[in-house]
């Protein structure tokens, strides 16, 4: 029987150190910063899945409760 001595964390650390940082911040000018910022936002929108999200034109709400707190009126909606 062959015994394999493998530790996951050192392996992952090595992979992390060897990989390039696609979104690393290395800008030295305002133009480079603007380009980095644009790229970062595009990737974040893609990763979060909000790029194709549509905002509804009308939000349907229903007032559930109104409480007069003296200095202000608290309204609860659903």
What are the DSSP calls for 36-76, one per residue? HHHHHHHHHHHHHT-TTPPPPSS----EEEEEE-SSSEEEE
Report residue 59's pLDDT band, with 50, 70 and 90 as the boundaries: confident
Report the predicted TM-score, pTM, of the whole model to 2 decimal places.
Answer: 0.51
- pLDDT, residue 54, reads 86
Q: How distant, in Å, are the alpha carbons of 38, 50, 71, 78 from that of 23?
A: 11, 19, 48, 40
What SS3 class is residue 77?
Answer: strand
**Separation of alpha carbons 27 and 34, rounded Å:** 9
């Amino acid at each position: 029987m062959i015994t394999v001595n493998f530790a996951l964390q050192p392996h992952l650390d090595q992979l992390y150190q060897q990989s390039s940082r696609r979104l690393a911040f290395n800008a030295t000018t305002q133009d480079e910063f603007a380009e980095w910022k644009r790229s970062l936002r595009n990737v974040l929108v893609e990763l979060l899945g909000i790029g194709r999200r549509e905002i509804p034109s009308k939000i349907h709400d229903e007032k559930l409760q109104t409480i007069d707190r003296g200095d202000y009126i608290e309204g609860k909606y659903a």
